[in-house]
Structure 1
Amino acid sequence: MKYVNHMEFQRKSFQVSELFKGGYNMQKILQELKVKSGFNTKQKAEEFAATLIHELNQGTYLEETDKIFSDFTKEWLPVYSEAKDVKPGTIRVREHEISKLLPYFSQLKLKDINRKMYQDALNDLKDQGYSDSTRDGVNHTGRMIFRKALELELIKKDPTEFAYVKKDKKTIEQLEEEEVPKYLEKEELALFLNTAKEHGLEHDYLMYLVLSYTGIRVGELVALKWKDVDFVNHTISITKTYYNPSNNALKFQLVTPKTRKSRRKIIVDEEVIEALKEHKKVQERVIERLGTIYFNHDFIFAKMERQFGYPIIIKNVRDRMKRLLRIASLNEDLTPHSLRHTHTSLLAEAGVSLEQIMDRLGHTNDQITKNVYLHVTQEMKKEASLKSSLNS
């Protein structure tokens, strides 16, 4: 049975406070005792009162907030955004991860959310079938929220402190499948690009040629402007990326690249440069014909049929690739990002070092790129060993 006789430990509080000649805020003590609506034993109730008085005496007493979780997340998000100078895409990710926590904590007071409740929420997300990466993200965001509340002295304890994300043990087959992402082999790439040349829509061949032979991200591709191309030195400068969550061609943003390392200058071969020159000639004729109707902001991959001059949206790049893969009878699960892995495989096969590949892709450290590189180089070693044994 719960021990709820508050009057007894209220008297104890008064007695202790008198020993210190009124050095305590008795109103706060009584308020705290009133909030704590029950204890398992009389001893625990008395211990709580004594601890509370000790905190007041030491100046460490913290009056926790009554703010609810949903309200605090609305306050936290803009603070996080300004302090970290994060990109709009990252904010959307954080909002999505907060939405996964709201069903559990939305109307609960921050101070009432304990470690078990938080861990139970993470476990329930697993039971609902959310992936490891999704739950990792949710937990990361949850930690940031409660640590900020702790920093602001709104709560006494961080309920996320010892939380963990449960993960199932994977089979060897699953691990091997995850280690090396799918990409186009050299012969498949040739077929894909030839299909784009023969059956592609506006920009298709040039888009996938550039993605395959530079390894740039699709957001970096559609943000490219002619001023980024050095036709003399055969380089493309990556200084920005495209952001458009609504997929409305008229409502796009150009933001800084994904990371500091993402700002880079890429050397490209003659084939890409020549294809860009040909495209520039076609675009210039369109601009001359349309005049002021054309949104002339120097974009390379600008729409030339509707919404003239606006950069093509990322969704179109994905959808068109799927169409071409279907025509070529290739794996339709591949995406424009798969062409980054394809580029990695081409460079590895050409003998380019992993460090140089990382620089070209704009990575500081990426395990997937390493896995592709190791896979290709290991296959090359196997082939070399086989040839050696056949010749001996």
Structure 2
Amino acid sequence: MWTEKQKNGKFKYVEQYEDYLTGKQKRVSVTLNKNTASARKTALETLTHMIEERQTGHQKESDLTLGNLIEKYLDFQKLSVKKSSYNSTYYLCNSILNIFDGDIMVSRITANFLKETLIRTGKPNSYLNNIRSRINAIFRWGYENDYIADISFLGKFKPFKDTMRREKLEDKFLESDELQKLLSGFKSKKWELLTKFLSLSGLRIGEAIALNTQDIDFAKHVIHINKRIFPAKKSIDAPKTISSNRDVYMQPELEKACRDILLFTKQESVFKGYRTKLFVCNTHGDYVSYIVYNNALKRTAERVLGFEVTPHVLRHTHASLLLANGMTLDAISRRLGHEDSVITKQIYLHVTQKLKEQEEEQIKNIHIVG
């Protein structure tokens, strides 16, 4: 086996063998992200398996279980994607194995079997569609890597009709008065401060929780965004995209909110007896739990506003308020760390329509002549 480095930085592992049917020399290859001992071992196992299959025909699927397939898929994903993406995949695959018996033979799986089994869980169709997408990805990967001979049945494994009410765009962000009402409704000062910070900065919740005090640069009036936290395992990873790695300018209002959080954390650390380098932390000086904060935000919003609010709603709220105050789409997209401005444009259309309606309402009450 030898290795060829690709132009995109990945590594192609190649093995040569003699086809017993033709006597000709042939090659098999697999491309991985790394060139480490572990990657080479995985590549060798994969190539050996591919050669065996090509010498004897496709692997008998009666020998391949769903659990085996998912295990192979995860091994490959671990070497091919970022840690945070792998963690998401790992938990989703575990969810699949909690629904389906891992000993089920892949050759006996049909579209109807998949649909009926998922429906019997009683889970919302939005959740089932998430599971369906991952199952499709696993089986397509298995086909592309010669573990499965036929995946034509996936064409009949259609998405579930999502009967849940689609969230309207206007429900995805708050008006200024609603935000003020929400902030005044918190019983916890910490959650009030964090909510204000998210609304004034537009940061993703994973970016905010991962911040250290040194990331708050008062000298340059910016917040350095160079990492995020994966909530399930509290593992730190690089930002979501290249454009997510950015500096967010601290306007005076945001700068004051940052100072308020630092003061609160300092006072709490003295009272609770902890030390921390985190910008915002729990009562032990460790990372804030996304679930705890999300639940507090949800309960408070339901109590004072009458509907749920998520941390991402605060991010959209930030964008909508900036748009209403005349900032350009490109400037807001850069601040939010978006790769494109599609979401920003959607919010823009709604905000401009609302402003237009307000202007028309004002004109109705104006008498110019007589």
Task: Indicate the TM-score class for this superposition, using the shorter chain for normalisation.
Answer: 0.7 to 0.9
1:299 paired with 2:278, answer: yes
CA distance in 1, matches of 2:161, 2:108: 30
1:69 paired with 2:27, answer: no
Among 215, 227, 240, the residue aligned to 2:202: 215
Where 1:351 maps in the other structure, the secondary structure is coil
1:233 paired with 2:220, answer: yes
Distance 1:254 1:145, change over 3 A: same
CA distance in 2, matches of 1:279, 1:169: 41
What residue is the counterpart of 1:121 in the other structure? 114
**Who wins on radius of gyration, i.e. which is larger?**
1
Quick check: 135-144 or 335-344, which moved more? 135-144
**TM-score, normalising length: structure 2:** 0.72
The letter for the 2-side match of 1:193 is L
**TM-score, normalising length: structure 1:** 0.68
CA distance in 1, matches of 2:116, 2:343: 27
Query: In the TM superposition, what whole-angstrom CA distance separates every residue of 1:202-259 from its partner, at most 9, and x where no partner exists?
Result: x23321111111111222111111111121332112211223427xxxxx32222233
CA distance in 1, matches of 2:77, 2:324: 43
Q: Is the 8 A contact 1:100 1:138 kept in 2?
A: no
Q: Is the 8 A contact 2:143 2:151 kept in 1?
A: yes
Gaps of at least 5 residues in structure 1 are: 1-22, 25-57, 247-251
Where 2:224 maps in the other structure, the secondary structure is strand
Q: Is the 8 A contact 2:126 2:162 kept in 1?
A: no
What residue is the counterpart of 1:11 in the other structure? none
Q: Cα RMSD over matched residues?
A: 3.3
CA distance in 2, matches of 1:366, 1:130: 33
Q: Is the 8 A contact 1:299 1:311 kept in 2?
A: yes
The letter for the 2-side match of 1:107 is D
Structure with the higher strand share, 1 or 2: 2
Distance 1:299 1:200, change over 3 A: same
CA shift, 1:141, in A, is 1.7
CA distance in 2, matches of 1:131, 1:367: 27
What residue is the counterpart of 1:359 in the other structure? 334
Query: In the TM superposition, what whole-angstrom CA distance separates every residue of 1:27-75 from its partner, at most 9, and x where no partner exists?
Result: xxxxxxxxxxxxxxxxxxxxxxxxxxxxxxx989434341211222122
1:316 paired with 2:276, answer: no
What residue is the counterpart of 2:316 in the other structure? 341
CA shift, 1:281, in A, is 4.2
CA distance in 2, matches of 1:266, 1:253: 23
Paired residues in the alignment total 314
1:165 paired with 2:145, answer: no
Q: Is the 8 A contact 2:99 2:117 kept in 1?
A: no
Gaps of at least 5 residues in structure 2 are: 1-20, 23-53
CA distance in 2, matches of 1:278, 1:169: 43
Distance 1:128 1:101, change over 3 A: closer
What residue is the counterpart of 1:6 in the other structure? none
Q: Is the 8 A contact 2:200 2:253 kept in 1?
A: no
What residue is the counterpart of 1:200 in the other structure? 188
The letter for the 2-side match of 1:300 is F
CA distance in 2, matches of 1:365, 1:214: 18
Among 184, 187, 212, the residue aligned to 2:177: 187
CA distance in 2, matches of 1:182, 1:124: 33
CA shift, 1:299, in A, is 0.5
The letter for the 2-side match of 1:340 is R
CA distance in 2, matches of 1:95, 1:169: 22
Q: Is the 8 A contact 1:225 1:300 kept in 2?
A: yes
Distance 1:96 1:347, change over 3 A: farther
What residue is the counterpart of 2:29 in the other structure? none
Distance 1:160 1:141, change over 3 A: farther
CA distance in 2, matches of 1:101, 1:278: 46
Distance 1:133 1:359, change over 3 A: farther
CA shift, 1:148, in A, is 2.7
What residue is the counterpart of 1:110 in the other structure? 106
Where 2:171 maps in the other structure, the secondary structure is coil
